[in-house]
Amino acid sequence: MEPTIFDKNMMWQDHLPTGWSGLYQQFIERLTAIDPTLRVTGAKRKFGELCIRFDRYNREADALARVAEQSSRTLCQMCSAPGELRADMNSVYATLCDLHAGATRPSDRPAIYSIIVHPSDD
Ligand SMILES: [Zn+2]
């Protein structure tokens, strides 16, 4: 059976840290409720937070993605526990709980909003 758009959107979960799997799945379920034909063209960790892209602009989906991205700043990317954006010695950013913080320090970097909408190919 051909994978559905939902299935394909869910595949981006593999590109994300395990701590954000639940967040991403919830996002895709809500996205599907808004518009089941919207395709995720990218979901990744960027500067320590979730970054999601779509194949076209949809105001509701865009707002939903921003909420998910904001949530990712408070969820440990390793274990989903409450966490915060942190940076290591090399200014590599990650959202981590106290348990996984290791040698990182809290980052006061403001949120990045990096939704980039690609025009549809068809
Ligand atoms: Zn953790």
pLDDT at residue 107 in the model: 85
Predicted pLDDT at 30: 97
Q: What separation in Å is there between the alpha carbon of 34 and the centre of ligand 1?
A: 31
Average pLDDT for residues 63-81, to the nearest whole number?
95
Q: Look at the chain and report how many structural domains it folds into.
A: 1
- The answer to the question of residue 57 being in a domain is yes
Q: Classify each residue of 89-116 as buried b or exposed e, where b means 16 or more C-beta atoms within 10 Å of its C-beta.
A: eeeebbbbbeebbeebeebeeeeeeeee
Say how many Å lie between the CA of residue 107 and the centre of ligand 1. 16
The answer to whether position 115 is within a domain reads no
Asked, for residue 81, whether it belongs to a domain, the answer is: yes
CA–centroid distance for 101 within its chain:
19
Residue-number span of the structural domain to which 25 is assigned: 5-106
117 assigned to some structural domain: no
Q: Mean pLDDT over residues 78-87, rounded?
A: 95
Confirm whether 78 is domain-assigned.
yes
Ligand 1 centroid to Cα of residue 68, in Å, is: 18
What value does the mean pLDDT take over residues 53-81?
95
Look at residue 111 in the predicted model and tell me its pLDDT.
62
- What pLDDT is attached to residue 1? 83
